[in-house]
Amino acid sequence: MTIKEKAEKLLCETGLLSELQTYGDPHLIGSYRMDMMVYNDLDIDIRNDFMTLEKLHDLTYYILKTFSPTWYEAREEVNDEGKTVWFHGFHAIFMDELWNFDLWFFDEETITKAEAYCDAITARCCRTPSLKTAITAIKKDLLSQGLYRYDKYTSMDVYHAVLSENITTTQTFLRKHPLPII
């Protein structure tokens, strides 16, 4: 079973997608949308122009009850554009494997931009399959080295390197994008 197939099973069996539909219009984005999953990570943007702190708390209850997360965070914040957004992030075990969930509540414009970004990458990779191969190989290599995470290298870093700089190997990626020494 592929990671994406496991993700689909998770979404169905836990009822997460159905639950999110009670809060707005969920959109699976990121690696799931682009069919480039290299680890158990789901990014879901939920269109909801009427989110409230009370609804955030209701979803918190559902997540805690359904998933018994090993790590959990929920917050309301104002983004760089001055828009109020809501976030739920958590880790949970499904089918004996750890999964990461990032749930963001955004307006339609923000979600449309995210989907367009993903779809543009997907289209380029369909035209040139070696790009998808390079992206997934670099992501897997970084993951195996403990370097693929929000405070090291992200998917966006890899997409930019492969699609804009024509980097096709992890060795070249690391040489051209060294992490700062702290």
Q: Domain check: are 95 and 141 in the same one?
A: no
Domain-embedded: residue 76: yes
Q: Domain check: are 146 and 98 in the same one?
A: no
Instruction: Judge whether 156 and 135 are in contact, CB under 8 Å.
Output: no
Domain-embedded: residue 116: no
Q: Domain check: are 68 and 150 in the same one?
A: no
pLDDT exceeds cutoff 80 at 111: yes
Helix axes 108-127, 129-144, angle to 10 degrees: 110
Q: How many domains is the chain partitioned into structurally?
A: 2
Q: Domain check: are 29 and 102 in the same one?
A: yes
Question: Percentage of residues in the chain with pLDDT exceeding 70?
Answer: 100
Q: Domain check: are 13 and 101 in the same one?
A: yes
Domain-embedded: residue 117: no
pLDDT digits (tens, 9 = 90+) for 164-181: 999 999 999 999 999 887
Q: Domain check: are 29 and 64 in the same one?
A: yes
Q: Domain check: are 87 and 132 in the same one?
A: no
CATH of the domain at 53: 3.30.460.10
Domain-embedded: residue 54: yes
Domain-embedded: residue 122: no
Residue 66 belongs to what domain range?
3-107
DSSP code for 106: E
- Is the entire prediction scored with pTM above 0.85? yes
Provide the residue type at 122 as one letter.
Answer: T
Domain-embedded: residue 182: no
Domain end among 107, 136, 157: 107
Picking from 2, 1, 11, 9, the residue whose alpha carbon sits closest to that of residue 35 is: 2
Q: Domain check: are 156 and 87 in the same one?
A: no
Picking from 73, 66, 70, the residue whose alpha carbon sits closest to that of residue 88 is: 73
Q: Domain check: are 13 and 87 in the same one?
A: yes
pLDDT digits (tens, 9 = 90+) for 34-66: 999 999 999 999 998 888 889 989 999 999 999
Domain-embedded: residue 118: no
